[in-house]
Structure 1
């Protein structure tokens, strides 16, 4: 029974790997179930024992990748101080994972996001969870005074995600002919400048914190010296 289960898992993984390769190389529309079954060394009927068709495969492949990203993100952000530090880590980590898994990224960004059923998938649910971390980071930045007090975390997240999507999609369409990290620092600075608190706002926040500390010390200003 164990051997049989292991064999089925190996076959399933072989089908997924074959579909991923063909989708990335010749596109989703041009790939047929027959192509995938031949690539996997199976009959077409055998493939249907594991998947309902190529759309089922299209929705399964990125789910595995995005689930792995979701599991890894907590550990990556652990111990990072400050909202901007976390944003930088998030961006660099995400771009690194995309460069490490270009086939998965290509399927997500070029094929899956244009599929009418994408919004009803577990992948979409996990992507939303992945981006919800950004909402927490922007809220932290606004609360701490690092970022503008009138910052809307949802708008900020949309700007951040939209910029990432543009960078990655352009890279994929240009056949990954350069590194995603080219000019990334400049892009990050340009993007996050819009989120930063104005100097006067930061001074006010620091002043309020200082006053709070002074109050906790019985109003003794010498305690702040």
Structure 2
């Protein structure tokens, strides 16, 4: 199996996202993915063991990039308020800019088997650590309660962002996800803020 991350690899990943979003994971045949990527069926198996490996790989690649982009923007600002705002904004913006990826990450991944969910957990952990760092920074800055349970608060922040995005996808993306940045920011900031 070839593990080169060249044009064909990325074409297959992008094709898989589109085909899975349009057909669902269980109906996303390798033949359809190959056709969309404009490669032979067998080419997919040069890069991926099977369809599950392809789904895991696409999640790792896209989630790693997702976290990198969020981190870059969060690192550019200085106060914890700005950092939290950027985190929310970038989370929603990246999903709004790629509706197919939003469908795959918010709906299709949740229908996968337990082993698969375990595989993607390590990639998702990068994002969890970023959120935990933001919470610690807020505590050190004296803006957040110092007795806050960091792990629980991270679950609350991630859960709020995740559920908001999932609801948007489930409602066929009929409204502007970015319009929810301010209300979500106010909700989370008020819950974290030291009175």
TM-score, normalised on structure 1?
0.75
Where do 4+ consecutive residues of structure 1 move more than 6 Å? none
Q: Structure 1 pair 53/152, CA: closer, same or farther in 2 (3 Å)?
A: same
Aligned residue in 1 for 2:130: 133
Distance in structure 2 (CA, Å) of the matches to 1:43 and 1:183: 42
2:46 aligns with 49
Displacement of 1:84: 2.1
Residue of structure 2 in register with 1:77 after alignment: 74
SS in structure 2 opposite 1:97? helix
Distance 1:161 1:39, change over 3 A: same
The within-5 A match list for 1:144-163 is 144-163=141-160
CA RMSD of aligned residues (A): 2.3
Q: Does 1:93 align with 2:90?
A: yes
Computing the radius of gyration from Cα coordinates, the structure with the larger value is: 1
Residue 98 of structure 1: CA displacement? 1.4
Instruction: Give unmatched runs, 5+ long, in structure 2.
Output: none
Alpha-carbon distance between aligned partners in 2 of 1:108 and 1:191, rounded to the nearest angstrom = 23
**Residues of 2 paired with 1:109 and 1:183: CA distance?**
17
Separation (CA, whole Å) in 2 of partners of 1:166 and 1:84 = 21
Count of paired positions: 192
- Deviations for 1:113-143, whole angstroms, at most 9, x for unmatched residues? 442223443x432321122121122122223
Moved more, 151-160 or 110-119: 110-119
Cα distance in 2 for residues equivalent to 1:183 and 1:109: 17
